Structure 1
Amino acid sequence: MATNHPVVVPDTNVAKEPQNHGSNINYDIDDVPSWYLCIFMALQHYLTMLGAIVSIPFILTPALCMEDEDPARGIIISTMIFVTGLVTYMQVTWGCRLPIVQGGTISFLVPTLAILNLPQWKCPNKDIIGQMDSVQKTELWQTRMCELSGAIAVSATFQVFIGYTGLVGKLLKIITPLTIVPTVSLVGLTLFSHASETASKHWGIAIGTVFLLTLFSQVLTNVQIPTVYYHKGHGIAIGWFSLFKLFPVLLTIVIMWSLCAVLTATNVLPEGHPARTDVRIKVLHDAAWFRVPYPCQFGAPTVTLAGVLGMLAGVLACTVESISYYPTVSRMCNAPPPPLHAINRGIGTEGLGTILAGFWGSGNGTNTFGENVGAIGVTKVGSRRVIQWAALIMVLQGVLNKFGAAFIMIPDPVVGGIFCVMFGMIAAFGLSALQYVDLRSARNLYILGLSIFFPLVFCIWLKDHPDLIQTGNETVDSTLFVLLSTSILVGGSLGCILDNLIPGTNEERGLVAWSKEMALESTNDETIDKSTFDFPCGMEILKSWKWTRHIPFLPTYKVKV
């Protein structure tokens, strides 16, 4: 009988056999497939992660005033991959212990652009940059990276605090669905200008990218291709592989990139055209083969009040988004509902990961990758060990700087097409939280419309008038400008305030359905086996100490009912 993936057939000699759990999953969270199956399945998660992370530097590096031909662009993407591996291993092994991948996120780009839009961080015009030597150009973008690094690292301490102190549940009683909708959806809506600017460099290629991505991810999603594989004890066999469902983004990039290569080789595209594959060949040529990313590699982080408060908007958006994935992943990998201590620890660990990302100079934070959550549902492989292997592959890949540089060479119109779909999906993901609220309520429609439309009007206008705020104190001016020009912060705050002030029933506001989905109401039901969320070692010692029952992030935590 054909399965979703040819290589997840139980092996008679694996370290631990998949059990019959009464579900259609091949490997559940505690199963340990043989090492060679782990590597193959880990590669799938690695490739899925690449499709999600590769687009971030295309917005980040121009905002840092970095030139297209600068080989440091490859260093940044390699650093992102490296940190993703480190944080993913921390999260899977000692954090929430769910098989999730943690890495760079679009949510941090909105406050990043607001910070870099301050007068002191705006890029000089191209003529001035062209007159600089290499040392001055490097200093130009590194000072901005240090500003982002400090803002990211310090703002993430809030996430660490609410996670390890157990305040997550209390915070999410205030952050309602009508707070989440504008916060998350505005991440995608605010970035539309970047998608338009990049795609407009060749609309034919950009639209072709959108077409292929739509074809692979929506039309051909259930089409499987025959694959030859080897199964120990059974020899060579034919299986079926869900290629289009697993790798729609990577397939689209490879095909359109190849098309651009053909147009480049035949000189259909003129010399210097942004759709040519050789326009940034210098990046690949100048990149080192091996380079180990290290903390403060671009300089010591700098901290300003404006940067920290602005970046806090990204931290809050990522916190809510990650928590929403926890119960979903638990169901996918046949695990019990995540207990409160696992949720607390997961958010705290994500905060630690964002601090590491800041100190390492990735220019971004960390968040749960929704693409990899979807990969679990497709492959029916929810083994924690597979994600640990994927984390190892990411760390090793992050050392290969040539590989990171290669992705910077993706033609801009191809990236623009990906942006059109990706940013739209982020906006749609935010709007999906409306399923919990009553959309027949005039109250809810008022809050929704105002909290989405007003930030788009006000924040864009404020960015065009950066000198409007004049309090006489430069620090206060910068702080107010970043806060008021960060659309996800303005929209989320407006939605939160209105939803908590304007009278409405819990059912109308969606609080009843939302609390069930978030699974934040912990239970001390001893009939549910939650050992899967225990630490991999040291549990006997923790259980022997009574005081550990009062620590919100320890597996021995007991909630008072």
Structure 2
Amino acid sequence: MNHTNNQVILDVEEKPKALKWLALSFQHLFAMFGATVLVPFLVKLDPSVALISSGIGTITFLLITRGKVPAYLGSSFAFIAPLIAAKAAAGPGAAMVGSFLAGVVYAIVALLIKFSGYKWILRVLPPIVVGPVIMVIGLSLAGTAVNMAMNDAKGHYSLLSFSAALLTLAVTIICSIYFKGFFNLIPVLIGIAAGYIYSLSVGLVDFAKVTSAPLLKLPDFIIPFADYTPALTPDIIFLIVPIAVVTISEHIGHQLVLSKVVGRNYIKDPGLHSSLFGDGVATMIAACLGGPPSTTYGENIGVLAITRVYSVFVIAGAAIFAILFGFVGTISAFISSIPQPVMGGVSILLFGIIASSGLRMMIDSKIDIGDKRNLIISSVILVIGIGGAALKFSDKFELQGMALAAIIGVILNLVLPGRSKEEIIVLEEDSAKKHTVA
């Protein structure tokens, strides 16, 4: 086993002593916290449920991968727009059904990979398809971020609200550029904290709900058959499920980079099918609880790289902390009290980074946009996705936005001539020669 850094503090299977274990696990959750609670905040789900589902999902993932992959699973940004659309069209129950089906897609793809290998998935989803779709995810949310930043609670333009958003954005950027070490990994959390303090000083925060909140509180779970009757409709399927196309690619990228950081080949052991199945099961669990879909986190890889603590016991400890915090009423009330402009300020940067990461994927993969084939595929995906094009088959069934863009992108890639000339990502045996992260 060859590590990229020989000074490993704790290896994957090593268990730290009790006090060190608690400290390292709390630090790890701290780095995951901001992004994990931002997604449910944006899609109007209970952040406490997101914390609990991310904790349970992470532990489930660790069990499925037999304790070999030190990955933390948090809320997925890729599903924000589809979840908002699904909730608006048919309520939160429909959004959860769609999320569950996305997890099922993960599981099906995992089984196919197990029995037929992984290279086919990379040919169906090359960077020229996935890159522009990731750009669509970020850019289609641009309006949401700006409206949150500029408007007050009633939806009217407010210079005071915008000032809170701009300060939050500025602090987040400064933290990202100038801070070093662990603090460089939590710019979102630091930015939100700074924006919150400023908002508190100018009267944008109702802190009374925090002080009056009970210590322990049952989160607002959305349980199938108890809170809603699951219904499988074509519009929900085509609204949410195709996003799994992108998150599966994201998962592969994370596994490649994680393999390099930790010094193991996770594509071979426990296998891409195993980690992908774990990710899918975690998403299904989240859907059954009323949380957003799960995904492996890039922040997790950053923490591992800086701290050189690879222990799955530390990851599991962070997951347990997340579950416990989900039942603390004060934490839930505090998250709910964060002003919308503060989240809007952070979102401006995060959604832009998502879009830029799609561009970076194409650059890292040396995609030649001067080639007509690549230019056509990327152009069609971008305009259809950002423009909100829709195929309406009936009043209750339509294929739109990101989902339509992703499907058309896959079809164009498969049918247009000249495919043999494009560069296709190949997973090297040592997982170290080429890496692409969504």
Q: Scaled by the length of structure 1, what TM-score is found?
A: 0.68
SS at match of 1:54: helix
Larger RCO (CA within 8 A; separation ≥ 6):
2
- Show the 5 A alignment for 1:43-442: 43-61=26-44, 76-95=46-65, 97-118=68-89, 121=90, 144-165=91-112, 166=114, 169=118, 170-201=120-151, 202-218=161-177, 220-222=178-180, 242-264=181-203, 276-278=204-206, 281-282=208-209, 285=212, 289-291=216-218, 295-296=223-224, 298-339=227-268, 341-362=270-291, 364-434=292-362, 435-436=364-365, 437-442=367-372
Mapped to 1, the partners of 2:137 and 2:192 lie a distance apart of 23
Offset of residue 505 of structure 1:
5.1
Check conservation: 2:102, 2:244, Cα contact below 8 A.
yes
Unaligned runs of 5+ in 2: 152-160, 432-438
Offset of residue 288 of structure 1:
6.6
Question: Could you list the per-position Cα deviations for residues 320-362 of structure 1 after superposition, in whole angstroms to 9, with x for gaps in the alignment?
Answer: 1111101211221232343165210111121111111111112
Task: Mark the CA change 1:168 to 1:348 in structure 2 (over 3 Å): closer, same or farther.
Answer: farther
Query: Which protein has the larger Cα radius of gyration, Structure 1 or Structure 2?
Result: 1
Check conservation: 1:30, 1:383, Cα contact below 8 A.
yes
Offset of residue 259 of structure 1:
1.4
Task: Mark the CA change 1:344 to 1:243 in structure 2 (over 3 Å): closer, same or farther.
Answer: closer
Determine the structure 2 residue equivalent to 1:233: none
Offset of residue 290 of structure 1:
3.0
* Matching residue's letter, 1:494: I
Q: How many residues align?
A: 414
Mapped to 1, the partners of 2:169 and 2:369 lie a distance apart of 31
Mapped to 1, the partners of 2:192 and 2:9 lie a distance apart of 30
Question: Could you list the per-position Cα deviations for residues 166-217 of structure 1 after superposition, in whole angstroms to 9, with x for gaps in the alignment?
Answer: 2672333211111111222211111111101100132222111111111111
Mapped to 2, the partners of 1:374 and 1:387 lie a distance apart of 13
Alpha-carbon RMSD across the aligned residues, in angstroms, is: 2.7
Offset of residue 45 of structure 1:
1.6
Offset of residue 424 of structure 1:
0.7
Mapped to 2, the partners of 1:185 and 1:29 lie a distance apart of 34
Q: Scaled by the length of structure 2, what TM-score is found?
A: 0.86
Question: Could you list the per-position Cα deviations for residues 287-342 of structure 1 after superposition, in whole angstroms to 9, with x for gaps in the alignment?
Answer: 67232676446344333222123211222222111111012112212323431652
Check conservation: 1:145, 1:298, Cα contact below 8 A.
no
SS at match of 2:279: helix
Mapped to 2, the partners of 1:20 and 1:187 lie a distance apart of 34
Task: Mark the CA change 1:392 to 1:448 in structure 2 (over 3 Å): closer, same or farther.
Answer: same
Check conservation: 1:397, 1:403, Cα contact below 8 A.
yes
Task: Mark the CA change 1:491 to 1:396 in structure 2 (over 3 Å): closer, same or farther.
Answer: same
Offset of residue 48 of structure 1:
1.4
1:479 paired with 2:397, answer: yes
Determine the structure 2 residue equivalent to 1:510: 423
Offset of residue 501 of structure 1:
2.1
Question: Could you list the per-position Cα deviations for residues 39-74 of structure 1 after superposition, in whole angstroms to 9, with x for gaps in the alignment?
Answer: 21111221111111222233212xxxxxxxxxxx6x
Check conservation: 2:134, 2:358, Cα contact below 8 A.
yes
Mapped to 1, the partners of 2:231 and 2:164 lie a distance apart of 40
Offset of residue 500 of structure 1:
2.2
Determine the structure 1 residue equivalent to 2:415: 501
Task: Mark the CA change 1:341 to 1:32 in structure 2 (over 3 Å): closer, same or farther.
Answer: closer
Mapped to 1, the partners of 2:329 and 2:132 lie a distance apart of 37
Check conservation: 1:327, 1:517, Cα contact below 8 A.
no
Mapped to 1, the partners of 2:3 and 2:268 lie a distance apart of 24
Determine the structure 1 residue equivalent to 2:435: none
Find the partner of 2:404 among 469, 490, 503. 490
Task: Mark the CA change 1:292 to 1:193 in structure 2 (over 3 Å): closer, same or farther.
Answer: closer
Mapped to 2, the partners of 1:195 and 1:114 lie a distance apart of 16
Task: Mark the CA change 1:253 to 1:180 in structure 2 (over 3 Å): closer, same or farther.
Answer: same
Question: Could you list the per-position Cα deviations for residues 214-244 of structure 1 after superposition, in whole angstroms to 9, with x for gaps in the alignment?
Answer: 11111x133xxxxxxxxxxxxxxxxxxx353
Check conservation: 1:288, 1:402, Cα contact below 8 A.
yes
